[in-house]
Amino acid sequence: MTGIEIIATTSSIGAEIRGIDMATASDEEFQLIQWALLEHHVVFLRGQHLDDEAHEAFARRWGDPIPNPIVAKLEAPVAIGVVYNDAEHPPGQDNEGWHTDHSWASYIPDIAILRSVTAPPNGGDTMWCNIAAAHEALSPALRDFLSELTARHDPGPRFALEMRARMPADVADQLLEAFPGTDHPVIVRHPVTDRPGIFVNPGYTRWINDVTPAESAVLLELLFKAIAHPDHVCRFRWQEGDVAIWDEHATLHRGPNDFAPARRELRRFTVGAAEPSAA
Ligand SMILES: [Fe+2]
């Protein structure tokens, strides 16, 4: 393995891997990508220019691609997810906050592999934060208190509107019934490294259970501030053909709405499905 470089984006999160062609990566190179992901939580491989088949073939080296839980309920589920925006399809105004993908379901993906098909000329970056580093920055007393708590996650106030706008009424009703929201521990344990991390997000977490509404609001505000602290965040500027791979159990991500009305297309496979477990 000569000519491979791993360049950390920050000391807390992110690394660019240079010198590996994902389409032809050897087992040794693949293991290096896996190691780098555990170490850096999100890794970037530029200029890969994969097509859907090569993207899926790479994803399968981690395990079976799992469709989004909503898509999985449809008659013909497809594993690939497409994020597409242009002047007629502007990015959402209220759903782009920090989140773990579909934390409103009982399970979350292990890994997400996202590639850029069309990059906007300006903006359209993606950001990730390190939930274990954010947890470590809290005081031991607060960490102990939070470790006993669970929080409610749901798909959000616009979920019903969106489902009814996009699906036949009976399918929308079934989906609304299937995903009423779920509870997860506020502090979760990483399934491989055992590191504890903060598992609430402004995208999908509604309240913390077993405390008063006022206490929940204050705690969530504090935790949302903790996860978004610039010390634990990295940001990636996409160029066409680039790939980002992230660990859903170690990070949250968000995409600022700063590129409309330009066209942007990203395609994604997620692999694995695990219920977040308490630290
Ligand atoms: Fe996402």
DSSP 85-106: E-SSSPPPSSS-SSB-TTTTSS
Q: How far is the CA of 108 from the centre of ligand 1 (A)?
A: 11
Residue positions annotated with a catalytic role:
99, 101, 253, 268
- Give the pLDDT of the chain (279 residues) as one tens digit per residue: 789 999 999 999 999 999 999 999 999 999 999 999 999 999 999 999 999 999 999 999 999 999 889 888 888 888 999 999 999 988 876 555 899 999 999 999 999 999 999 999 999 999 999 999 999 999 999 999 999 999 999 998 888 888 888 889 998 889 889 999 999 999 999 999 999 999 999 999 999 999 999 999 999 999 999 999 999 999 999 999 999 999 999 999 999 889 999 999 999 999 999 999 999
What's this model's pTM, rounded to 2 decimal places? 0.96
Domain 5-274 listed as CATH 3.60.130.10? yes
In DSSP terms, 274 is beta-bridged to 108
Q: How far is the CA of 11 from the centre of ligand 1 (A)?
A: 23
Q: Are strands 182-185 and 187-189 parallel, antiparallel or unpaired?
A: unpaired
Return the closest-CA partner of residue 22 out of 273, 269, 272, 236. Answer: 269
Q: How far is the CA of 161 from the centre of ligand 1 (A)?
A: 19
Return the closest-CA partner of residue 269 out of 64, 12, 7. Answer: 64
Domain ranges in the chain?
Answer: 5-274
